[in-house]
Structure 1
């Protein structure tokens, strides 16, 4: 069996792919009638499983008047269907010791549950019922509107959340990806029930649905369960329908790292006033897309620059100078752009000094590259983190969903490790130089003048 499962095309109804994975795990992918995709990773010896229902819609896909709808749906799908009340949904998982939750992103939404292998049919039935038959009751919506506003207020009280959100908005200015995933208090207060309903009916369809499961799961049985629950929910499963293709790379923000149009890439400086004891700062700019071949190089670069206690930023800013408790670099990739940044939390009076150090370490990496010892250490760090991060069924389930919706391929652990090991010091220096040439944005959150 191949170590790489190629998902280059959406697949025809009835198509079935199989690939072997590490430790005897088997990955299978089937396209069901209606264009529904089902991917499983059967893990020998596992008595639990995690099941997820993915919809390829995120906050970037909201039309004017619908802003905040994606996050609203994440909440409202747990509030009842034609067959179940909100309490019924909660009790179904509590009664078997399971866990259910959901996550909204900028480009996809996932509803998932972790249960014992014997309870997988129940989990599929409940989640499938939620996805197909949510009532979106007006009274429940108004109640949840208050809950979401409290959630946003909680996030707004956390300066580290604020600085990251404002940094994305600064770098991706003028693009839907720059909007906050959860909406803003103004959009949440304004969005009507009809707009949320329209968003739901427009995007929650068989051809957009991807069901993934990992652990103690039987692929053929899961396909039957998914088909049955979607039919029970009233979805028409056209035998000729094909899945919606992966999101295409379009003209997006960025400095041309991937041929994207330069939208919002001139660099900006933003100061957000908060009455806090500490300042939170980020320096950075546009980064790589989620599918860029250099993403493995970026992982090594990030590990060396700000990925652990031995990283340059940690050693220079915290260990040598004592200027920050938390300092690191980060990146995130989307279909047509990405962001890359360096973060630190420090005393307000030390912000300028810390920003200077962040810039100096970034530029030194771009000009001088990394040492052989740093390369070896970062590859070891990433390799260990990769393997440890895939030790549970939840991470395996998520990997399947992202492979289908984002990457277009599923790599085995060994193939992923080989790609990390193939990164050279020259690759890291070259990419660091590209990122360092990007127009930079600075965001400061703390007790500064507005």
Structure 2
């Protein structure tokens, strides 16, 4: 199972909510409401159905494809756990593939693999996704299997113990990857004990004593129809997908009384960040790993388009300032880049570098100098134009497969309550001005910076 972060550009609730044509369908005596979003010239026809239970189904019909990506997205992540529950969402993600009342774990995997398809899942801090990619003719099978495992998993005591061992190995493996560990350390430096600062996987101390009952309670409390979005993209028919979903969920715990969809995650109260600090994880590694950064902006902030441009120019590619200065001109690091993470009520902006331990001071000095220079002087018009081109190109090129299109539908609905058409999103990027970027840079990059380091050091090595 994998863990993923949100994409830098996604629709927002202030985007287009234009619908046309409302139809109803009946199944089992209950009425579903279907709406067709305005056709997107750069995409297929997008339709949205709200089932009586509050579960939502969104599809994008792309007749030129011969595959379909089908995903079940649940509005629950690691930030929804209490301290003793840390890791429950990720634990559950593993367990749902272990068997249902209809299928064993082997039957779940072999059913999809027998038709050349693939399945996987990932847990983030704010949502969990289960998905399959199959040939268009095998979509009914994928819907039946995926709905079954998400809605009706049995969570046997034996499976809990088996996956506990797997997850503990996963945690140990993560601890052996300092290039990954340093990002978690940085997140903890900024968020502290807040749930956003915890590891998605949990820790050995929380996963080891976690009981089946705790996981079962978490499952039934959070995996409810109003909190679930089903999305599919590819060569499909929307009405057929809705019918298949309803059939697959009939008689399961997700076949519930009428309800309204849960609203997307609220942005209040705002997350309180820790004062800037330095955290060092001493390890005898051949390479030092550092992350320097600060609190950013939340995902509904209109300035996120300007942030995307700023990130591209600073450290988003081989032409970026940091890459050119630190790697190309001085050869101090193999990998150096900047990134932004955005949540409902907060965000992060950071720079990562991996270098020889003896070069850490120089790399950090150059990084701080470049960030201060951009904060004071801003970017040039040419740089902003290049950053905008990178944003638009990466977004459109990312829509070349059904998986990314499926994800776009689900994130728009689950995280923003809306789906911004591709043309409008590109227009929002085009509308970013030099003043927008430089104003954000002055505010963001002027903030006190936290530092996370994994390598052969102690706290005193960075006391200054």
CA deviations 1:404-430 (Å, max 9, x no partner) are 111232122221111111111111111
- Structure-1 residue corresponding to 2:361: 352
Per-residue deviation at 1:120? Answer: 0.8
Per-residue deviation at 1:332? Answer: 0.6
1:208 lines up with 2:227 in the alignment: yes
Aligned residue among 239, 264, 272 for 1:246 = 264
Per-residue deviation at 1:387? Answer: 1.2
Inter-CA distance 319–36: structure 2 relative to 1 (3 Å threshold): same
1:6 lines up with 2:25 in the alignment: no
Q: Mapping of 1:26-425 within 5 angstroms?
A: 26-239=45-258, 241-253=259-271, 263-425=272-434
CA contact (8 A) 1:231 1:237 kept: no
Task: Out of 437-446 and 279-288, give the one that drifted further.
Answer: 437-446
- Structure-2 residue corresponding to 1:21: 40
CA contact (8 A) 2:87 2:207 kept: yes
C-alpha separation in 1, matches of 2:60 and 2:255 = 27
CA contact (8 A) 1:4 1:19 kept: no
CA contact (8 A) 2:378 2:442 kept: no
CA contact (8 A) 1:175 1:252 kept: no
C-alpha separation in 2, matches of 1:108 and 1:95 = 29
**SS of residue in 2 equivalent to 1:174:** coil
CA contact (8 A) 2:42 2:422 kept: no
C-alpha separation in 2, matches of 1:106 and 1:4 = 24
Q: Which runs of 5+ in 2 are unaligned?
A: 1-13, 23-30, 460-464
With normalisation by structure 2, the TM-score equals 0.91
With normalisation by structure 1, the TM-score equals 0.94
Inter-CA distance 209–250: structure 2 relative to 1 (3 Å threshold): same
**SS of residue in 1 equivalent to 2:115:** coil
Per-residue deviation at 1:29? Answer: 0.8
C-alpha separation in 2, matches of 1:200 and 1:167 = 29
Per-residue deviation at 1:435? Answer: 0.8
CA contact (8 A) 1:247 1:406 kept: yes
CA contact (8 A) 1:67 1:191 kept: no
Aligned residue among 424, 434, 440 for 1:431 = 440
**SS of residue in 2 equivalent to 1:30:** strand
**SS of residue in 1 equivalent to 2:53:** helix
CA deviations 1:159-213 (Å, max 9, x no partner) are 1111001101111113111111111111111211110000001011111111000
C-alpha separation in 2, matches of 1:196 and 1:234 = 16
- Structure-2 residue corresponding to 1:257: none
Inter-CA distance 440–376: structure 2 relative to 1 (3 Å threshold): same
- Structure-1 residue corresponding to 2:10: none
Per-residue deviation at 1:233? Answer: 2.1
Task: Out of 435-444 and 80-89, give the one that drifted further.
Answer: 435-444
CA contact (8 A) 1:13 1:35 kept: no
C-alpha separation in 1, matches of 2:336 and 2:244 = 47
Per-residue deviation at 1:7? Answer: 8.8
**Residue correspondences, number:** 436
Per-residue deviation at 1:49? Answer: 0.4
C-alpha separation in 1, matches of 2:163 and 2:37 = 42
CA contact (8 A) 1:13 1:33 kept: yes
CA contact (8 A) 1:24 1:44 kept: no
**SS of residue in 1 equivalent to 2:250:** helix
Q: Which runs of 5+ in 1 are unaligned?
A: 254-262
**SS of residue in 1 equivalent to 2:352:** strand
**SS of residue in 2 equivalent to 1:247:** coil
CA deviations 1:221-263 (Å, max 9, x no partner) are 1111111111132433323x1011111012233xxxxxxxxx2
C-alpha separation in 2, matches of 1:235 and 1:408 = 21
C-alpha separation in 1, matches of 2:330 and 2:220 = 55
Per-residue deviation at 1:15? Answer: 4.9
Per-residue deviation at 1:97? Answer: 0.2
Aligned-pair Cα RMSD in Å: 1.8
Per-residue deviation at 1:24? Answer: 5.5
CA deviations 1:53-92 (Å, max 9, x no partner) are 0110000001243221100111000000000000000111
**SS of residue in 2 equivalent to 1:344:** strand
C-alpha separation in 2, matches of 1:161 and 1:234 = 37
